[in-house]
């Protein structure tokens, strides 16, 4: 009996221990359930909901770029694309074979599709072909029963109505890089493009817009069950440019087949009305991807179609620089308007002879006639008296050799040498360097855009800056007021003397560019010719009647012309550079004349609506 009682006591203690352990376990489980279901219930409900609901971004429409009259120069078109959902295809290979019979697929395209199918889950769509034509899309839809897994989707693609005519200004878009995707998750969406050049790049934050979102109910493996909610994104902002697209086409037409560039400004406020570069390229090719053959064709072309020559091409300014030298001499009192300098056809300095372009010389000339005749000897002497540092300072004031406030990535400022720069190179500046700078040669480099700015500043006396943006989202930029730009603070008398010399170049007998005289009643243009050498002409060549037009194209001088009009109320300024055009008077001046006739006839700076004879590829917004 005692043993039974002892055994029973042991059982009771064990039962109590087991019961206690069970009670403790159930207590802990109850506490955990309370924490999960009550204390943190909202948190876990949210996590569960997020597993059930997938939120995906929706790409917004990209903002448009418009010309000054509201005509789209960069817009959006529907982009039909074929997608493949592998789980809906009995055989991916068989589906692709059937698709290729309707829309041919290159070997590298098929390899890319098969690689994407292997990398993604089979219910995730893979792009088979973008940029389908209407005919291709229709063939796919008609043959849909024979294309299991193929679906047609619609997105947007960038469209450039004016094509190469505005490529260097508008720029282009291209697929985002991996680095781009890190800054904005929206850039990982299919079909998204980012600005890579021109105004597309400068205004990228405004044009991109903000992504929308769609809520989708998904199952455990992520397959879409149904759409629960959709919030469309915020479209990108439209940006209106200062460019007149039709004028741009006309300017490009005047450049013809030449490798050349031209810039037209509103001289009062610096608005760029046209900025043409020839040859150019089709910007839409970057949207879909540039082939290696096309890239090699562009990069091997010695006329460099990818370079914006108007804003990034560097040239010696030649005799157009004499405007700056004249102003520097007058402001420094190194010369007065009435001083007369004799030109026998050359200037000897030590053992070096510096020639005038006119072999017999011009005789005695004052400043006005020095500009009118573009006498090299006259400006050799003016430069010698003035000095390179004063000339460089004046060039900078006229927008040469300094950065300009233009919204184009890659725009260059050119270069104006100084004595300090030469010494920093470990070399001495000599008087010969100053003399050749007096006629715009030597170390000087400028862009056509900066030459147009120079012409605008001499015409108006205001320190205008060039700009391409007229309005963003319907709100006009403040730079479009002439009052936004300060006076240059130069002598009005000196400016008038230089303007009179430029007027005489075009309108007076024996000027260097009578061919540039405007065929318009009661309207006159002032201008200055220039011809800049790309290789030195020896004394022996000069003595034997050397003619630069006999040289191979790439060794001929560049032809330049700058101008403003009307001379009594300056409103428009322009610059034309014809690469290896030989003589500014023969090659560039007639182009500038024709451009100015179009500009004055259209008068875009004084219009809110285009003239009635407008013919454009776009339509007003």
Catalytic machinery residues:
319
Residue 548 is given by DSSP the state G
Inter-residue contact 492 to 433 (CB < 8 Å): no
Phi/psi at 227 (5° precision): -95, 130
CB contact at 8 A, 517 and 523: no
SS3 450: helix
Q: What is the 3-state secondary structure (H, E, C) of 456-473?
A: HHHHHCECCCCECEEEEC
- Residue 286: count other Cβ atoms within 10 Å of its Cβ: 20
Q: Is 370 exposed, middle or buried (0-12, 13-18, 19+ CB in 10 A)?
A: buried
Cβ-based neighbour number of residue 537 at 10 Å: 13
Cβ neighbours for 147, distance < 8 A, ≥ 6 positions apart = 95, 98, 99, 102, 140
> CA triplet 226, 231, 233: central angle to 5 degrees?
130
- Angle subtended by helix axes 589-602 and 245-255, to nearest 10: 160
Residue with tokens 């454009």: 616
- 168-177 exposure pattern, b = at least 16 Cβ within 10 A, e = fewer: bbbbbbbbbe
On whether the CB atoms of residues 321 and 421 are closer than 8 A, the answer is no
State the Cα–Cα distance between residues 389 and 79, nearest whole angstrom.
Answer: 57
For residue 422, give both structure tokens.
Answer: 């030469």
CA distance 266 to 283: 27
Tell me the C-alpha to C-alpha distance, in Å, between residue 285 and each of 156, 289, 316, 357.
15, 6, 33, 46
| Residue 446 phi, psi dihedral angles, 5° rounding | -135, 165
Cα angle, residue 616 at apex, residues 611 and 621 outer, rounded to 5°: 85
d(CA 207, CA 236) in angstroms, rounded, equals: 4
Max Cα–Cα distance, the chain, nearest Å: 151
Q: Give Cα separations from 567 to 245, 430, 508, 522 (angstroms).
A: 25, 38, 14, 10
d(CA 501, CA 498) in angstroms, rounded, equals 5
Residues contacting residue 409 through CB under 8 Å, at least 6 positions apart: 197, 198, 201, 202
Cβ distance 375 to 356 under 8 Å? yes
Q: For 533, left (φ over 0), alpha (ψ -120 to 50), or beta?
A: beta
Residue 45 neighbours by CB distance under 10 Å: 11
- Interhelix angle 448-460/492-507, rounded to 10 degrees, is 120
Alpha carbon distance 516, 304 (integer Å): 28
What is the C-alpha to C-alpha distance for residues 212 and 490, in angstroms, rounded to an integer?
55
Token representation of residue 43: 């948190």
Q: Are 193 and 176 in contact (CB under 8 A)?
A: yes
């Amino acid at each position: 009996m005692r043993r039974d009682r002892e055994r029973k006591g042991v059982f009771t203690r064990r039962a109590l221990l087991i019961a206690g352990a069970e009670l403790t376990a159930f207590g802990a489980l109850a506490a955990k359930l309370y924490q999960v279901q009550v204390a943190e219930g909202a948190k876990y409900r949210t996590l569960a909901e997020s597993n059930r609901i997938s939120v995906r971004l929706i790409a917004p429409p990209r903002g448009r770029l418009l010309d000054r009259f509201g005509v789209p120069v960069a817009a959006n078109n529907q982009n039909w694309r074929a997608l493949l959902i592998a789980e809906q295809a009995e055989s991916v290979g068989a589906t692709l074979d059937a698709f290729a019979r309707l829309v041919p697929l290159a070997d590298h395209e098929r390899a890319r599709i098969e690689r994407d199918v292997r990398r993604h889950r089979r219910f995730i769509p893979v792009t088979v072909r973008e940029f389908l034509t209407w005919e291709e899309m229709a063939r796919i839809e008609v043959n849909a029963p024979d294309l299991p897994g193929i679906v047609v989707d619609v997105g947007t693609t960038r469209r450039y109505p004016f094509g190469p005519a505005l490529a260097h200004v508008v720029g282009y878009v291209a697929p985002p890089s991996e680095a781009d995707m890190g800054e904005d998750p929206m850039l990982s969406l299919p079909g998204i493009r980012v600005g890579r050049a021109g105004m597309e790049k400068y205004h990228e934050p405004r044009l991109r817009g903000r992504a929308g979102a769609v809520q989708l109910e998904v199952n455990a493996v992520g397959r879409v069950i149904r759409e629960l909610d959709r919030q469309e994104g915020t479209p990108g902002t439209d940006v209106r440019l200062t460019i007149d697209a039709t004028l741009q086409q006309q300017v490009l037409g005047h450049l013809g087949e030449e490798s050349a560039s031209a810039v037209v400004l509103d001289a009062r406020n610096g608005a760029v009305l046209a900025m043409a570069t020839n040859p150019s390229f089709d910007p839409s090719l970057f949207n879909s991807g540039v082939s290696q053959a096309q890239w090699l064709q562009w990069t091997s072309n010695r006329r460099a179609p990818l370079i914006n020559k108007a804003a990034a091409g560097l040239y010696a300014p030649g005799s157009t620089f004499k405007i700056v030298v004249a102003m520097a001499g007058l402001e420094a009192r190194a010369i007065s308007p009435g001083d007369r300098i004799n030109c026998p056809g050359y200037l000897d300095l030590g053992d070096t002879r510096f020639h005038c372009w006119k072999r017999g010389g011009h005789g005695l000339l004052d400043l006005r006639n020095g500009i009118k005749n573009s006498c090299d000897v006259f400006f050799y002497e003016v430069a010698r008296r003035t000095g390179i540092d004063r000339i460089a300072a004046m060039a900078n004031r006229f927008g040469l050799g300094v950065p300009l406030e233009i919204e184009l990535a890659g725009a260059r400022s050119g270069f104006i040498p100084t004595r300090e720069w030469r010494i920093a190179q470990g070399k001495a500046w000599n008087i010969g360097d100053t003399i050749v700078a007096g006629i715009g040669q030597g170390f000087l480099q400028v862009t056509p855009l900066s030459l147009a700015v120079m012409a605008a500043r001499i015409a108006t006396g205001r320190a205008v800056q060039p700009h391409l943006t007229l309005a963003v989202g319907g709100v006009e930029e403040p730079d479009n007021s002439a009052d936004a730009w300060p006076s240059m603070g130069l002598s009005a008398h000196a400016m008038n003397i230089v303007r009179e010399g430029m007027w005489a170049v075009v309108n007076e007998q024996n000027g260097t560019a009578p061919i540039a005289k405007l065929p318009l009643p009661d309207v006159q243009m002032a201008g200055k010719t220039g011809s800049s050498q790309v290789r030195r002409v020896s004394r022996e060549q000069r003595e034997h009647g050397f003619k630069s037009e006999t040289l191979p194209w790439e060794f001929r001088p560049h032809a330049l012309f700058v101008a403003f009009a009307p001379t009594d109320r300056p409103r428009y300024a322009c610059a034309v550079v014809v690469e290896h055009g030989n003589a500014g008077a023969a090659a560039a001046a007639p182009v500038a004349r024709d451009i100015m006739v179009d500009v004055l006839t259209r008068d875009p700076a004084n219009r809110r609506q285009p003239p009635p004879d407008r013919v454009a590829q776009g339509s007003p917004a």
